[in-house]
Structure formats: structure tokens, C-alpha cells
Structure 1
Amino acid sequence: MWRWALAGATMLTAVCGAFAWDAGRLPGGGTAREAGRLPGSDAAVGTSGPGPPREARTALVVRVVDGDTLLLRIGGRRLRVRLIGVDAPETWARRDCYGAEAARALRRLVPVGSEVRVIGDREPYDHFGRRLLHLWTSRGRLVSAALVRAGFARALAIPPDTRYAPLLGAAEADARRSGAGLWRACR
């Protein structure tokens, strides 16, 4: 059943999302240009989007697995975490175009040993048992927005975890238009 939901969400994002997000307006009145600059990237992007909510917890980065998965230590527990709202190219099951670059980008954003802020959305785990979380750098940058904005990942809205979907969709639309990252390299 979840496969049909994933397929439907992906199709809805691809077909309808581009029109809604193309306008570039975000919740709270901001624009897509507020999605963040990735360290070491040439992509011209604005700020990082919303900062972490007050109830976000602190975590420590243990390991970056690929462009959208990492291991975190939260409250003494080691958790395998999947970033909500993004889909980065794969690096291990199959070697997708721009997968290695996406993993390096995530390592630059949240190096091993760095402190991050995290909060969940509605679904706590994905079908692989990974904890689904939104993640911010120690400087308050929304990691998923920075990755999408610089072209290291695609926006992926899977209901009910859609808190930042408009922001990520707008960031993807801008990345596509400017040919950032995978949008230029993986045609």
C-alpha cells in the first residue's frame, strides 16, 4: 500500500507541484530565494529558510551515509535518519548521477561530530525503519532546503510529512531554472 502512496505523492509533486511552487512564494510570505547557500558551492542562493522550532532536539552527527541519510546520536541513542522532504541520488545500491556529490555536500553541511537540531513530522519512521527528521545546522540552516537549492537533491513531498514542502518545491524550481547541480549534470 505504501508503494502506491509513494508513487501517487511523487506523481502529484511532479505534475501539480511545479505549478504551485513555480510562483516562488513560501508560507509566511518569503520567496524561494530564502533557501540557503551550500558551503563550497557556486549556487547563488539566499538564506536558509525557517530556523528550527523551539521544540527541536539537539543531536550529534555520527556518520553521513549518502545525500539524504545519516547516523545521529540523540539522547544517548544512535539512530539511522532519513531527511524528510528530499530525495538525493543514490550512492550504494546503484550509482546515480550526482550521488557522490550529494553525499559530499551533506558531509560539508553537517560534518561528523557537529551538533544539529532535529524535529520529526507526522510519520516517525520510513519503510526501511529509518527515523524521519527535519535537520538544521548549528547555524540554523534547514539542511534539506540547502541541498535542494544547490541542486544536490530533489524535493519529495510524501504526505503526511509535508511541513516544508512548499519551501522545498520552490527551491527545486529555482535550482532547475538556474541549472544548479544535478539539473545541469544529469540530463
Structure 2
Amino acid sequence: MAGSGALGSVAAKVVAGVVVSGMVVGGVVAVAVAQSGGEERDAATVVRVIDGDTVDARLGGGTQRIRLLNVDTPETKHPQKPVQCLGAEATEFLEGLLAPGDRIELAYDVERTDRYGRTLAGVYKDDSLVNADIAAAGLGVAVLYEPNERFYDEVLEAQQRAEEAGEGLHDPAVDCTLPGMAQDALPPLEDLPAAIPADAAGVAGALAAAGPVIAAGQALEGALDLAGSGAHVVLQKAYASTAPSIRARLDTALPAAVEYRDGLRAEQESIKEAERRAAAEAKRQAEAKRKAAAERKAAAERKAEAERQAEAARKAEEARQAEEARQAAAAREAARQAEAEREAARRAEAERQSAAQQAEQAAAAREEAQRREAARQAEQQRQQRQAPAPPAAPGGGPAVGGSGGQCPSSHPIKGNDNSMIYHVPGQRHYGQTNSRNCFASEAAAIAAGYRKSKV
């Protein structure tokens, strides 16, 4: 432990039951504080937050990566796993507790480092165990990796308080949590009716309604399976007490829902089969009617043909007689039309000359109108060029910086540029979020690539 070797060479200074010793390492003072009762801690300075349970801190002249003992938060940086439920919120919560430059104290257990070379410690700020503060916010769970168990009980107690208060991972209002999934899935599953509709439209509607309900139940079942498998430590530890009751309800509701859906499918197939049989019978009857109609049509056509031929003979005779009369009338009409055409030609020539004169007059009128319109448009453009430009419209603009952790009243939305989550006034972590990026509206924050905090 940094500074512990100097205890024998530095005179002890006892003040209110606290012994303090120090040494300079590489130009940086590392302080070991021995609390009354024998607890010994190393003083360190926060450099950055890595994720919900890991920080970098300056200690003993260098920067060490500190993994908080006996607490685990949802993953955000695992190379083979997606960001888990409330993982970003856990990171942001720890950033709110431990800002760069904050002074912290580190307490250790049996094993000081893990296989990745990270320092394992309980992190204290202002005498509050940060490991337990994370669990109390519902953003982490108590984990026990022997032989390190020193902070387990305190973290577990904090986790239990969060569970009782419905915080974070235990909040049914957060849809990615197990309570949230159960709240969304179980009531609709349990409310599915048992009766199968008798008509096709009713069955189709019931199937459409049951599908998403069953899908939500199966998603909940997958989450429960994952929590029970031990492959997801946070799920397993967070829901050890609540998962059995959710599983019991789901084991009753989901099979009943699947049975109901299968019954709907069977009824739908039965209705379709009946419809197929009815369609086949209708087709047979239609074919019989078609054949009978075709026979009646053929007989009618034969009769009509005989009548047509007789009528054709009669009309042929009438036509011959009519043609003779027509030819005589045509000769008279040809003479009359010839005279009429000559008269029409005379009138057409007169009308053509009149129309040509009117066309010339109309063209002259159009040219004058075009000249006047061009002059009007030129004058309008001249006036527009001389008119003053309209004032610029006000706009929202990009993010601005605040001061003292406060955003300007014109830009009240805080954006965390590490998690890319923004907070609005009144949300739980609004006060803990820095004011480096302040937006005038949620739309401006979203346009800058941020998303809204879920808690």
C-alpha cells in the first residue's frame, strides 16, 4: 500500500483517533489514512470514469485502473457483448459521483489485482462507499468473488433497498428491465380470452392481437432464461428474488396463450377448408349452369340464323329497289351540291380575307401587350433591387457552455458528451450532469446526436 512503509520512520500524529502518514513518490504525494479501528486507505485522484464500475485514478505517481469490488454494472464496453440495459446510465451515474480531479480513498481486500491487472478496491468519497451508492441507485448488483468479500454485505444491502424502492434495474417503468418487460408482457398474456371466434374475421383479428402478446411473453421468457443461466451476472443477481414469481406467472400464462393461438390457427384452417369446399361446390354448380346456358344459346343462335337469312333476302330486294331510287335522287343531288359548292367557295374566300385581316390586328395587339408587360416587369425588378433586405430570422444555434454546473436559462438542456445522453430539468441526474454542452431544446440535442436519459 502506498505510504504504508513510512509509518515506522515518521512520527505518528494522533488527531481525533486518526493516524496520518505520507511520502513523496515521483513528485506526487500518496497518502495512506488509517481510520480508528485499523482500516487503512490510500488517497487517490480521479482521472476519468471508464464505465459503471471502473475508473482511472492517479495513485503513487502513476495512473491505475480501479475496478470497484463486490459490485457489477451492466456492460457498455465489452468487445463481444452489446450495451446492456441501463449500462450507459450506470456510467453516467458514476461520472456524476466521481468527476476528474475529485479526491477519493481506496480500501482493499485479500486480492489487490484481477487477471487484467486492474486494482480491486472499495472506493470512498466523503466517507461514502461508492460501490454501495451504485447499487442503491439500482444501477449495479452485489457480486462475490472469493476471497474478496469485504464490501459485499454493504453493497447487497444497498441493492435490496433499490429493489424495494423500484430504482434503476428494478423500475417497471423502464422497458428494458425485467420488471418492465413483465409489466408489459404478463397482463396482456393473462387477459387473452379462452373462447375461439366462429367467423373468419374474428379469428384473423384474434390471431393478429395474440401474436405480439405471445412474442412479448417469449422475449420475457428469454430474459428469464438468461438470468437463470448465470451467463448474465447482472440479470442473475438483480432479479434473484423477483424472477421466480415472474416465472411462475409466465409458466401459467404463456402456455395457455400458445394453446389459444394454436386453437385459433386450427379454427382458421377449418374455416379455410370449409370455404374451399364451398368454393368447389359453387364452381361445380356454376359450370352446370354455364353448360345449360350454352345449349340454350346454341339453339337460339340456330333459330336466329334462319330468321336472319330470310330477313336478308327480303332486305336485298328492298335494297335493289331502293338503290334504283337512290341513284336517280343522287343525280339530282349532285347537281344541287355542285352549285352549292361553288357558292360555298365564294363565301369561304370572303371569310378567309376577313380572318387574315383580324389575325393581323390580333398580332399587333399581342405585341403591344408584351411590350407593356416587359416594361412593367423591368420596373418591378428595379424596385425590388432598391428595397431593403428583410431581417434575418432568429435560430436555436449549437450547444453553448454553462458555468458552475448551471446552463443558461435560454439553453436549459444538459448533454453529457461522454455518454451522449441529454437530461431535461427535473430528471434524476440533471443536477449531477456537467454543463459543458447546453442546448436550447430537446430537438437541438437530438440533432447533435444525443438521446434522452431514461431515468
Indicate whether the TM-score tops 0.5: yes
Q: Deviation of residue 54 (structure 1)? A: 4.6
Residue in 2 that maps onto 1:165: 152
Aligned pairs, number = 136
Q: Deviation of residue 121 (structure 1)? A: 0.8
Q: Please identify the structure whose Cα radius of gyration is greater.
A: 2
Residue in 1 that maps onto 2:94: 106
Q: Which amino acid aligns with 1:125?
A: T
Residue in 2 that maps onto 1:142: 129
Residue in 1 that maps onto 2:49: 64
Does residue 118 of the first structure (1) align with residue 106 of the second (2)? yes
Q: Deviation of residue 125 (structure 1)? A: 1.1
Moved more, 82-91 or 122-131: 122-131
| Structure 1 stretches of at least 4 aligned residues deviating more than 4 Å after TM superposition | 51-54
Stretches of structure 1 lacking an aligned partner (at least 5 in a row): 1-50
Q: Deviation of residue 120 (structure 1)? A: 1.4
Cα deviation code 1:49-93 (max 9, x no counterpart): xx9975201101011000001101111121011000100111122
Residue in 2 that maps onto 1:8: none
Matches of 1:62 and 1:52, distance apart in 2: 30
Kindly report the root-mean-square deviation, in angstroms, between the aligned alpha carbons of the 2 structures: 1.8
Identity of aligned residues (%): 35
Cα deviation code 1:91-146 (max 9, x no counterpart): 12220000011001111111111110002111111122211011001x11100111
Matches of 2:38 and 2:44, distance apart in 1: 14
Q: Which has the higher contact order (CA 8 A, sep 6+)?
A: 1
From the superposition, tell whether residues 117 and 165 of structure 1 become closer, same or farther in structure 2 (CA, over 3 Å). same
Question: What SS does the aligned partner of 1:173 have?
Answer: helix
Question: What SS does the aligned partner of 1:59 have?
Answer: strand
Q: Which amino acid aligns with 1:87?
A: D
Q: Deviation of residue 177 (structure 1)? A: 2.0
Stretches of structure 2 lacking an aligned partner (at least 5 in a row): 1-35, 179-455
From the superposition, tell whether residues 85 and 52 of structure 1 become closer, same or farther in structure 2 (CA, over 3 Å). farther
Tell me if structure 2 keeps the 8 A contact 1:98–1:182: yes
Cα deviation code 1:151-178 (max 9, x no counterpart): 1111111111111211211211221122
Higher helix share: 2
Cα deviation code 1:2-31 (max 9, x no counterpart): xxxxxxxxxxxxxxxxxxxxxxxxxxxxxx
Does residue 95 of the first structure (1) align with residue 83 of the second (2)? yes
Q: Which amino acid aligns with 1:102?
A: A
Q: Which amino acid aligns with 1:73?
A: R
